[in-house]
Amino acid sequence: MIDLHCHLLPGIDDGPATPRETLRLCRLAVADGITHAITTPHIHPGRWHNTKATIAKDCRKLQRALAKRNIPLQVGFAAEVRLTDEIMQQVESDEIPFYGEVDGYHIMLLEFPHGQIIPGSDKLVRWLLQRRIRPLIAHPERNKQVMKDPTQLTPFIKAGCWLQLTAGSVTGNFGERAQTVARQLLDEDVVAVLASDGHNSGARRPALAEAFEYITEHYGGSRAKRLMLHNPATIAASQFQTEAQAPC
Ligand SMILES: [Fe+2]
150 touches 185 (CB < 8 A): yes
Q: How far is CA 117 from CA 16, 51, 81, 201, in A?
A: 28, 24, 15, 30
Angle between helices 52-68 and 19-32 (to 10 degrees): 70
| SS3 call for 109 | strand
Mean pLDDT of 46-51: 94
Cα separation, 166 vs 139, whole angstroms: 5
pLDDT at residue 247 above 80? Answer: no
**Distance between Cα 151 and ligand 1 center (Å):** 23
**Distance between Cα 193 and ligand 1 center (Å):** 14
**Distance between Cα 217 and ligand 1 center (Å):** 26
Mean pLDDT of 93-109: 97
Could you give phi then psi for residue 194, rounded to 5 degrees? -110, 135
Per domain, the residue ranges of the chain are: 2-239
pLDDT at residue 248 above 60? Answer: no
Beta-bridge partner residues of 37: 3, 75
Q: What is the pLDDT of residue 241?
A: 74
Average pLDDT for the chain: 96
Q: Which tens digits make up the pLDDT trace of 156-187?
A: 999 999 999 999 999 999 999 999 999 999 99
**Distance between Cα 202 and ligand 1 center (Å):** 15
**Distance between Cα 224 and ligand 1 center (Å):** 21
pLDDT at residue 245 above 80? Answer: no
Q: What is the pLDDT of residue 242?
A: 64
**Distance between Cα 42 and ligand 1 center (Å):** 7
Q: Which tens digits make up the pLDDT trace of 197-229?
A: 999 999 999 999 999 999 999 999 999 999 999
Mean pLDDT of 184-194: 97
AA identity, residue 247: P
| SS3 call for 230 | helix
pLDDT at residue 238 above 70? Answer: yes
Mean pLDDT of 139-153: 96
**Distance between Cα 199 and ligand 1 center (Å):** 7
Assigned fold of 2-239? TIM Barrel (3.20.20)
Helix or strand (DSSP H, E) at 42: strand 42-43
pLDDT at residue 244 above 70? Answer: no
Q: What is the pLDDT of residue 222?
A: 98
**Distance between Cα 205 and ligand 1 center (Å):** 12
Q: What is the pLDDT of residue 228?
A: 98
